[in-house]
Structures are given as C-alpha cells and as structure tokens.
Structure 1
Amino acid sequence: MNYNRFLVLFCCLSLSENVLAQLPPIFDQARAQTAQSEATVRRFLSPVKILWSTGSIARSDQLLKPGNGQADLSGKGVCSLKSGATDKPSLLLDFGKELHGGLQLVTGQWKVSKPITVRIRFGESASEAMADIEPKQNATNDHAIRDMTVQVPWLGKLEIGNTGFRFVRIDLVDPDTELLLKEVRAIFTFRDIPYTGSFRCSDTLLNKIWATGAYTVHLNMQDYLWDGIKRDRLVWVGDMHPEVSTINAVFGYNDVVPKSLDLARDITPLPGWMNGISTYSMWWILIQRDWYLHNGNLDYLKQQKTYLVGLLNQLIQKIDEKNSEKLDGTRFLDWPSSENAKGIHAGLQSMMVLSLDAGADLCRILNDPETARKCDAAVARLKQYVPDPNKSKQGAALLALSGLVPAQTANKDVLAVDGAQNFSTFYGYYMLQAKAKAGDYKGALANIRQFWGGMLALGATTFWEDFNLDWVKNAGRIDELVPEGKKDIHGDCGAYCYVGFRHSLAHGWASGPTPWLTEHVLGISVVEPGCKAIKVQPHLEDLTFAEGSFPTPYGVVKVKHTKRPNGTIQSDISGPKEVRIIR
C-alpha cells in the first residue's frame, strides 16, 4: 500500500465498518475511546536547581532553562558531561516539589552516532536520589522503579520512569565518552482539576499545611486513588477515608473515588475483608456514607446495597456474648499502634459502632428497615462494653468519636498528653476530630502546627507515610544533602514496612488537617445529603480571620470570618440558592 492510499484509508476509519474490521486491534474504536477518556494529563517541568555535581560538566545551567522537548542540529545550549577511563561525571537535579511521573531527556549531536549509557536515580529526598539499592538504608525498587541503567539515543529523546520524586541523579556510565544533554525535564502526570475548595487564615503555616494536604491527595488521584505515588501505589480502603475527606473539601466530586470503592468491592467477595483487614471493610462503609452525604447520588448508593447489607450482617455476627467485638482477619488500626493489642481492641470496638451506625443510616435511605434495625440493636449491645485504650491515642480517638467514652475524658486522659507526641499521620486526623468533639480546638491547632508543621520544617512539599517527633532531633532537611554529623530523616528513620528510603514521602492518608481546617476553622459541615444544607460554625481560637470556599454539587459556598475587637466573629457567607446555610 502506498503512502497516499494509507492516508485515505486512515481518514475514513470512522466511516467504514468494513475497513475497521480489517484493521489490527490497535485501531479498535472502543479501545481508542477508552484511551481518550484517561483522566490524567502530562506537563513538562525543568529543574529549579542543580543541588550537587561531580566530574567534568560544562554548561549545566542550561538544564534549568525551559525546553521544547525537541532535539535540533544547532548545538546551542547543551550541557556536556565528559567521562575518562575511571572518572565519571554525575549531577543531582532538584525539581522544587514532589511530583508524580517520569523523566524526559533530550540529547545533542555527539561525535559518534551511537547510544550512550546513563544511570538514572529518582528520589523523594536528595539523599534517596544519591542512594544505591542496598540493605543499610533500604533504598528499593518496590512498586515503582527508581534506580535504572538505560541508553539514551544520539540526537533524540528518551522518556523513562513512573514514580513519585522530587530529585533525579544522572550518572554517565560509559568511559571516555561525552554526553550532550539539551534538556532534562520532569514529566508531571496528574489530574488537571480545579481546586474549588480553599482555605486562608492569619497563620501562614496553617495555610501551607492545608495546601500541602490537598496537593498530597491530588498527586495520589491517578488511575485509582492510591495511598502513595512512590510506594503503596494501591487502593487501600482505610487509607482512602482521610483522602476522600480531603477530596470532598478541596475538589468535590471526582470519579476516582467511586472507581476505587468499586474496585475494592469487586475484588473482595464476602466474607473476605478488604485488603485483608476488618477495619478497612468498615472504612468502606464510612466512606460510602460520607460520599453520599456530600454528593447525594442515590443511584450510586443503590448499586452498593447488596454488598453493603451482606457486609453489615457479617459484622453483626462478630460480637460475642460479652458484647465485645471478635473480629478476625488482620487486626489493624495503623502502624504506630500495631504493637498495642489492647489499644487495637478499643479501636475495633469503636469502629464496629461507627460503621454499624453509618450502615443503619444508609439502610434507612435504601428502604431496608430490617437491616437498619439489626444494626441499631448491634450498636446498643456494643455500647454495653467499653475497652481500655491502654494509652493509645488511636484507640482513645475512636472511643471518643463512637461515643463509647466522653470526648472530654478521652482528650484529657490520653489525647492531650504530651501534645503531638505519639500522633500518627493516618490516625492523626481522628485524633484531631476527637479533640474537636471535646471542644479542644486550641489544642488541635497546636498539634497541627507541631506535627504537620514539623514535616514542612524539614523541607517536605507533601505529607509523609509516617512521622515521629522523636526523629526530628539533629535531623537534616530532605531538600539538602545531609550535613556531616546530622541524621538523615529519610534514610535513617522509619519503622515496620517503611524503614529508611522505602518510606513514602507523599502519602494521602496524612492529609487530615486539610478537611479538619475546613470543617472546624471555616466551620463548614454538611447536614443534608447532596450538600442541600450546610452548617457554618467557625472556631478561630488565636486566628484573627479565616476565609475559604467549599465545593458542592450546585457550586461553591464561600465564607469569611473576621474576629472583632470584643472577640465575637463577623461571618460573611454566600453560596448557591440550592444550598441552605445554617448558622
């Protein structure tokens, strides 16, 4: 077939069924439509800084300039890396903030038209990008390849990588070679969606914390709602709860949420537990309740009825004659509490109450009064037995939120002890929620500043899989090479499954302050499904003002709260006519 005939054929693909039937599968129309509907986009970003270099390198500052992704014959504006017999040049690039995606290298015209071998290392911290894969600090290629040796073409372009990173190290591997790099750009892959929710107040640290939580979740909104963009690129249902709370406060409806909830349901036939963890199936119920409350999509909720009712009946069977939970599967709240069996038991008892309460509400909406009655009866039984949290802030928070223990008691005896010590990135959200229920907004704001602000003080641009205030002592920043005598906060710290560099520095479950600040400082809470009624009750504490917006299915609600000299608050609120505002 000559070239002109091929063009005619290609232009007629959408018109001729006979032609379509003769083409190979790559031209299948349904598959092409699927490809066109992918949610993510790609943007190209140049590095903002060369953090380190060694060896013979010239014109490296050219790599900081915006590029066009096109090799050319001009020979202008190219960075030269020259190796000798044993000396090999390397450089470390900083792209300024955590990104999801890969790397594009555009090359120049060196003397011999053959590929050149380079080693590429991605890192969420500067020290991770400098690390080898070895056991000492646990740098890995788990879930996503961050350390690879590849060949780059002569006068061409190579795109590699699919991970979470901020830093990239490039090493010239071949000896006695000159590598010419016209451009090295990050391929930033993300959902191009507006931040319709917003938050701003008189404390710039809180503003940065709100935005960082929002951005952390945004990065994890990929094909599905992941928990981490470097490691744990999976749908972990419990981890989704704070993420979905953030999505509700920042983005409003996004199809990544029901898509991920449905995946978890479809790959977990009952009596299995989602992700093998009983609490994660219970978090699925709580997310369904919250998602319906914010979006009001009854048709979607009806699609969950069969599975939901089966799961609720399964949970009801997990109560013994002493009215105590007897859950099987992995007994897990979060990693920092995983060695406190009594604390976990208190948390599981509380999660049973929370999820069965939510299930009863959903069943009444779904016109299933019989299952709702069973759930109510089970909750009444569970409330007759109150476990000891054993000083676990995770367990105490859930006891307070479920009403098994007065929130003021849980806060005084456990949550408020030693400030943000023994907080965790995942369950910190529920600790903050319990403190709000106890009326301790001042203490919660102090915890946010100390704990999540502590990550920002170490150079974070996204919130981490875990963080421990004990790690901070004598620790270097993640955006610098660790100075002599300092601890590497990334490579030297971590625990459980996230020891050393395996530790994810962009984990969506750590975003809790974002929805918390919207709910309790801006004071916005949804009280009728589909945001048909919203209550606004701000708590400014030491702030002089707070303002922001909140997405609803009908448009954006805007609020501004200003503290008067006498301590009272002036509130200006506006929103769509379909949304009833309760003050």
Structure 2
Amino acid sequence: MKLIPNFLKTSMQQTVLLLLLALVCCADTVLAQQSGKASWIWYPGDLDIWVSNKMQNRRTERGAFLPPFWKMDSHYVLVEFHKEFNLANAEEVNLYVEGQYNVKIDGQAFSGYPKKITVPAGKHKLSLKVYGQDKVPAILVQGKTVVSDESWLATFEDKEWIDASGKASDKSGTTFVSAASWNLTDPLSPPSRFKLATTPMAAVKTDKVNNGFVADFGKETFGFIKLHGLKGKGKLHIYYGESKEEALSADHCETLDLLEIDLKGKQDSVIELSKAFRYVNCQPEGNVTLDKVSMLYEYAPVTEKGNFRCSDEQINKIYDISKYTFHLNTREFFIDGIKRDRWVWSGDAYQSYLMNYYSFNESPIVKRTLLAQRGKDPVTAHINTIMDYSFYWFLGIYDYYQYSGDQKFVQDIYPRMKSLMDYVLGRRNKDGLLEWMPGDWIFIDWADKLSKDGEVSFEQLLFCRSLETMALCADMAKDTEAAANYKKLAADLKARIFKLYWDENKHALVHSRINGKPTDNVTRYANMFGIFFDYFSPSQKQEVKQHVLMNNKINKITTPYMRFYELEALCAMGEQSYVLKQMKDYWGGMLELGATSFWEEYNRDKKGVEHLAMYGRPFGKSLCHAWGASPIYLLGKYYLGVKPLSAGYETYVVEPSLGGLEWMEGKVPTPSGEISLYCSKKEIRIKADEGSGVLRFKSVSKPVVKGGKVVEVGKRTYELKLMKGVQYTVNYQK
C-alpha cells in the first residue's frame, strides 16, 4: 500500500468534511419538516447483495486480497419503479436518483433528467426507470404526499410492447414486486454511500519496541487506525494482532499494512481499510517518524434491548463479553469473525439471528443477511457451497418469522426459498437422501476424524426440518399445493431417518450410512439436534441424554459453534444446572486466559500459544467469533425462559430456571417492547409489553400471586396467565 499526501485524510480535511456534512444534514432536516416521509428504495435484495460484495471483498491476508470462493451475484442494472397516486391537488415533487433515468407520468416521458416535476391533481401513475452498472439503481421521491417507500412496485424485466400505431400494450407479462428500503431517508446520502458509524478511541498503553512501538487498545476491537504526526521518507510497517504475540510476529501475523511515506511536515492520516486487533505494532523504516496511533472504532449503531444479571459474577462477565463479541460481529450483516474472514457464512449467521432475538432484536440486519446469502437465481451451488448451510438458511427464515411476526418478508422471499429447495431436491440419491456430490462441502463442525462420507444422519435431519419450514412458509405464501407436497416429503423423510439410523442397542441415531449400510459410529450432532427439533419420543430423549450427551466416551465437542447446540439440547432436557457449570468451565476458561472476546475454538488441553493457532497457522484462530457468544441465547431462552409460541410474541411462554443461581433478572426484547423478569428461589416478578403469555413454574407449596390467578397444571407445576402491561408478583417455594 502506498501512502502519499494526496491520499492522506488530514485533521483539517476531516473538520471541513464534518462541517459540510452538518450543513447538509441541517438542510435535509428543513426539507423533512416541510414534506412527508420518503425513503430510498431499490429492487429487493439488490442493495443487500451489493453491500455484501463490497464488505466480503475487503478481506486481506498479510496484505494480499483474499475474496470469497463461492459465486457472487450482482444487482439488476436496469430497474423500473412506479406507483399510482390520486391527488386532490397538483403536487411538486423532488427526484433523487442513483443512475441514469427517465421519468414518466401516465406513460408520457419528461425531457432530460428532471430533478423536480409537478404531478397533476387526479389519478396518475408516476414511474422511473433507472440504469446503474456500478451502483444499485435507487430512487428517493419527495413530495408532500407523493413519497417513495416500500409500497412502490419494482421490476427488473419490463415486458411491455408497443403496436404499429405507437399504442402501449394494456396487457403485460411483467412481474412486479414491492420495492425494498433500509429506511435511508437522507436525499443527499444515497444508498451507495451507506457505511457504519465510527467514533474515536485512544490506545490505553504504548510500549517501545525496536525502532517503533506497540499500542495496546485494552481489548479486542475493530476499526480504522489513525496515524498521528507521521513524517519523513521511507516505509512504515504495521502489524496487527488479536494477541501481543501475533502483533510482534512480522512473519506470521494474519493482517498487516506496508505504507510508503514521503512527507516533509507532520501529518495525521487514517488508513483506508478497517481491521480487527487489540495490539498494533508500528515499525518505521528510513527516516520515517510517528508520534502515536489511535483508532476510529467502527460499529453498527444497534440498541442493547435485552440484558441479563444474576447472583454469579463470573456468569455476568461471560454474558457481558458474549454481548461485546456479538456486537463486534454485528456489522452491515452478521459475519463470522472480525479478523480473518469477515464473510457472511450461513451457519455462523444462523446462530447470530438467535442471539440477536435475545439482545438487539434488530430485524433489518437479519433480513439483509438472509437476502445477501441467498443472492440470485439460478441456484448453482449450496449457500457458501456448504450443504448444511443451505439448511440453516431455511431455518433462519422461519425463526425470523416466529420472533418478529413479519409475514410480508416471508412472502417476499418465498420464491427464492422455493428455487433453492428445488436445487436441494434435485440432488437426492435413489433413496431420497442427501450425500456428497461434486461441488458440495459437508461441514458439520471443525473436529478431528469426523467422517463426512456416505449419507450423514445430521444432514438428513437438517433437510427434514427445512422441508417442514418450507411447508409452513408455502402456507404463508398461499402456495397450498406446494405446502402439501413439502409436508408429505418431510413426514416421509422423518420416518425414513428413524428407520435407517436409529439403533436400539446404541440408544441413538448413528452418524451415517455408507453403501446402504448404517455405520457403528455415534456422534453428538444428529442426536442433539433431534432433541430440540423434538423428533424423539420422551423415552428416546432420555436414552440420547444418557448414552450420548452425558457420555464422555462419545467424542467431545471443542468449538463454541457446536457447543451452542449441545448445551441447548441439554437445557431443553432440563439440565440447566449442568449447563451452568459447563458455561463457567468453557467460557470461563477463555476468561482465565485473558480473553476480552470469545474465540472460534477453545480446548483446555492446549497450552500457551497453542491457543492462538488454527488451520496450520500460528495465529490462524479468530479470537472474536460470533458463534462464541451463545450464552446470550442460552441465558435468555433457557434461564429467563422466554420464548414465543406464535409469531411475533402474540402468544409466548416464560419458564424460568435458576439452574443453581440464587437469583437472576433480565429483559427479552419483543417486536414492540420487552418482557422483564426477576426470579429468585422465593419470588418471581414479571411484566410484558405485548401479547398473551403463560408463566410456568414449579413450587413445593401453593404460590401466592399478586395481579393474577395461578392454576395448578401438574404435580407441583403451576401456570399464571400473563396480560400485557400488568406487573405480576409470585411468592413461591423452590
């Protein structure tokens, strides 16, 4: 990378830019006050794909460009937008457009590229056709009542025709869809300028090393390095590290910058590409000097709506570090890790969705990520080329509906679901099962000696759940014939799974079939998913719990990725006390080693710098990985015990479980509010802002309730109906 004065962002330049931005914002505020609300709109999924392409192609490895290895789609370059209005009075309308465009009212085009038009009184159709090769075609239409929003229609293929007389057809084969928006409302900040927020942060410590210094920012972080007082001619080597060992390793650190400097006077500058780091090792060469470094911390400005506190301070710290880890990986999309990949991996993102519902509850980022992963038709490979990752994508859509109640998104994305499932169905073998085919990557987990050969039971379970999801979503999309077909396919596959893989002697599903014969190998993966998918009978659940989940002879899981599901299965079986100890041991183990964010993998048997290595590289491991933040989800869903029973928390259940804690309290965000809970061994206090819920708990004696009436539904088991806005207090005996 070459850095010379023309490319430096000086403090004075930044100040001028900020002043200009402030003036623009003031002007836009006046405009917004005078007019109705308008937003930039585009063809659905296009900005998601365009921004994700830019983000995922920022990855570098030791300064070299390292792009994703899967097919990347692009936006539609020509899009038509329109809407019909019925105006009482003529209306002056401002037009803001990204791309070349024409404007029509009732099919009659305006000359040139008008920035302002008048829409006459009465019923009229306003349409804009926009071409953009280097950026997504997008419009913002701002009048008093004529405004652009998601009620506009869009198409990428205008199938109109004109006869010999010049008359336009009154019949059309064009498919129109609702336009998309991210609620970008500033006319002077078009979608192509979308970026995350930044804020200045200083290093907490600086140590002299060789000819330069190492700056320590105190914890794992992400952003743009700012160089202060840079001067001279020569080179500046910058080595980044999530650990100090990595930053000091010029030969093996994962990320670095090499800057060529030619500056006579001191200048401040910001390095163009953001990085993940805690330590920054700056080593000048020649007569280059540098006063210090700071950073512009880059982040998604999400609101922390959920929280958790309890009697165990270590668990509180695990929760806080989990939330920080998750926030760092919550960017334009939910990504895997901030240092290495920074890609939109479907398996990683699926876990992030679940953590999101118990922390930020940011629906827009979920939708962006799902759309970016899916891309365009035709489907030529599994998402990220991984079979299991296609299935996580399906599951993510239905979970989103359950937690948000957003049926429109499901209906909008359903055609893309259907074409992906058509691809999956086309890859079944003669027995209707899935196994490796050329181009597939069967991932499951990072684990030594984990066989991917043959028909793996884990893949069949995910396939079955995806078919069930398709049936539910087809119903929402009013595709009744397809819904019935998916339902039958799922039922048939589920029956076949238990016929082929359940081993009565092993009390579990075996791992795979090879050449039509089941293997003797039992792993945790299919068995733990079968528990929280509720595929097992009550007796089978107990068998799996005893012979697999609680059996140390079955290969242990060492990644937070699959620990997420293993601990969820145990929680679903009522083992919160055991899981609490596991959290303290596993995540607490990382804290004992000084972790300020949670890692891609942790194994207590490793020592020293062995913890930093992965993929055959001494610093290949990500020390800030989204899937390391799973305690957020576990504590919200299985300790506070809050989960929706119907879409958008219209109905829900709260089953608090202390799991060995003396007390706990927290909030779980819902689409229009929150559910707050305090629970000790003697008292429960609960209040919900929406929906109709049930508090279910156990008590050795009949509880006393303030605000409602409790009903005994089983042996020492009680239920209390919850109405929105009512504070309930329950005195009971644990």
Please point out which of 174, 177, 193 is paired with 2:302: 193
Aligned counterpart, 1:103:
225
Distance 1:249 1:36 in 2: 31
TM-superposed deviation, 1:450: 1.5
**Does the CA-based 8 Å contact 1:343-1:391 persist in structure 2?**
no
Distance 1:536 1:502 in 2: 41
Please point out which of 544, 547, 550 is paired with 1:413: 547
Please point out which of 254, 259, 271 is paired with 1:140: 254
Distance 1:338 1:426 in 2: 17
Aligned counterpart, 2:582:
447
**Does the CA-based 8 Å contact 1:346-1:396 persist in structure 2?**
no
Q: Which runs of 5+ in 2 are unaligned?
A: 1-19, 32-93, 97-111, 116-133, 141-186, 502-509, 512-520, 696-734
Please point out which of 650, 668, 680 is paired with 1:532: 650
The aligned amino acid for 2:285 is V
Does residue 53 in structure 1 map to residue 208 in structure 2? yes
Q: Which moved more, 1:376-385 or 1:555-564?
A: 376-385
The alpha-carbon distance between structure 1 residues 29 and 553, as it changes in their structure 2 partners (threshold 3 A), is: closer
The alpha-carbon distance between structure 1 residues 267 and 167, as it changes in their structure 2 partners (threshold 3 A), is: farther
**Does the CA-based 8 Å contact 1:119-1:150 persist in structure 2?**
no
- C-alpha RMSD over aligned residues: 3.2
The aligned amino acid for 2:687 is S
Higher relative contact order (CA 8 A, sep 6+): 1
Distance 1:452 1:335 in 2: 18
Distance 2:312 2:244 in 1: 29
Q: Which moved more, 1:28-37 or 1:197-206?
A: 28-37
Q: Which moved more, 1:398-407 or 1:199-208?
A: 398-407
Does residue 253 in structure 1 map to residue 253 in structure 2? no
Please point out which of 378, 381, 384 is paired with 1:272: 381
The aligned amino acid for 2:662 is T
The alpha-carbon distance between structure 1 residues 319 and 165, as it changes in their structure 2 partners (threshold 3 A), is: same
Cα deviation digits, residues 123-151 of structure 1 (max 9, x gap): 111111111234xxxx334xxxx343443
Match runs of 1:271-420 below 5 Å: 271-320=380-429, 322=431, 324-326=433-435, 328=437, 329-336=440-447, 339-341=450-452, 345-384=456-495, 385-386=497-498, 387=501, 388-389=510-511, 390-405=521-536, 406-418=540-552
TM-superposed deviation, 1:572: 0.9
The alpha-carbon distance between structure 1 residues 152 and 302, as it changes in their structure 2 partners (threshold 3 A), is: farther
Aligned counterpart, 2:277:
165
Distance 2:398 2:312 in 1: 33
Secondary structure in 2 matching 1:258: helix
TM-superposed deviation, 1:319: 4.8
Distance 1:281 1:124 in 2: 31
TM-superposed deviation, 1:383: 2.4
Aligned counterpart, 2:197:
41
Does residue 523 in structure 1 map to residue 658 in structure 2? no
Aligned counterpart, 2:334:
225
The alpha-carbon distance between structure 1 residues 35 and 173, as it changes in their structure 2 partners (threshold 3 A), is: farther
The alpha-carbon distance between structure 1 residues 96 and 371, as it changes in their structure 2 partners (threshold 3 A), is: same
Q: Which moved more, 1:416-425 or 1:516-525?
A: 416-425
Distance 1:429 1:459 in 2: 22
Cα deviation digits, residues 57-79 of structure 1 (max 9, x gap): xxxxxxxxxxxxxxxxxxxxxxx
The alpha-carbon distance between structure 1 residues 159 and 316, as it changes in their structure 2 partners (threshold 3 A), is: same
Aligned counterpart, 2:372:
263
**Does the CA-based 8 Å contact 2:335-2:626 persist in structure 1?**
yes
The alpha-carbon distance between structure 1 residues 442 and 302, as it changes in their structure 2 partners (threshold 3 A), is: same
Does residue 555 in structure 1 map to residue 710 in structure 2? no
**Does the CA-based 8 Å contact 1:133-1:140 persist in structure 2?**
no
TM-superposed deviation, 1:470: 2.1
**Does the CA-based 8 Å contact 1:521-1:540 persist in structure 2?**
yes
Aligned counterpart, 1:78:
none
**Does the CA-based 8 Å contact 2:222-2:338 persist in structure 1?**
yes
Aligned counterpart, 1:464:
599
The aligned amino acid for 1:162 is S
Distance 2:558 2:95 in 1: 63
Secondary structure in 1 matching 2:362: coil
Q: Which moved more, 1:439-448 or 1:403-412?
A: 403-412
Secondary structure in 2 matching 1:382: helix
TM-superposed deviation, 1:488: 4.6
Aligned counterpart, 1:58:
none
Q: Which runs of 5+ in 1 are unaligned?
A: 1-6, 55-87, 476-486, 565-569
**Does the CA-based 8 Å contact 1:422-1:468 persist in structure 2?**
no
The aligned amino acid for 1:99 is T
Distance 1:310 1:375 in 2: 13
Structure with greater Cα Rg: 2
Cα deviation digits, residues 556-576 of structure 1 (max 9, x gap): 221111112xxxxx2211121
The alpha-carbon distance between structure 1 residues 20 and 509, as it changes in their structure 2 partners (threshold 3 A), is: farther
Cα deviation digits, residues 83-132 of structure 1 (max 9, x gap): xxxxx523222111111112112217xxxx74463221111111111112
Cα deviation digits, residues 130-181 of structure 1 (max 9, x gap): 11234xxxx334xxxx343443843220111411111111112225x6x351
Please point out which of 243, 250, 266 is paired with 2:352: 243
- Equivalenced residue count is 499
Please report the TM-score for the alignment, with normalisation by the length of structure 1.
0.78
Q: Which has the higher strand share?
A: 2
Distance 2:673 2:195 in 1: 22
Q: Which has the higher helix share?
A: 1
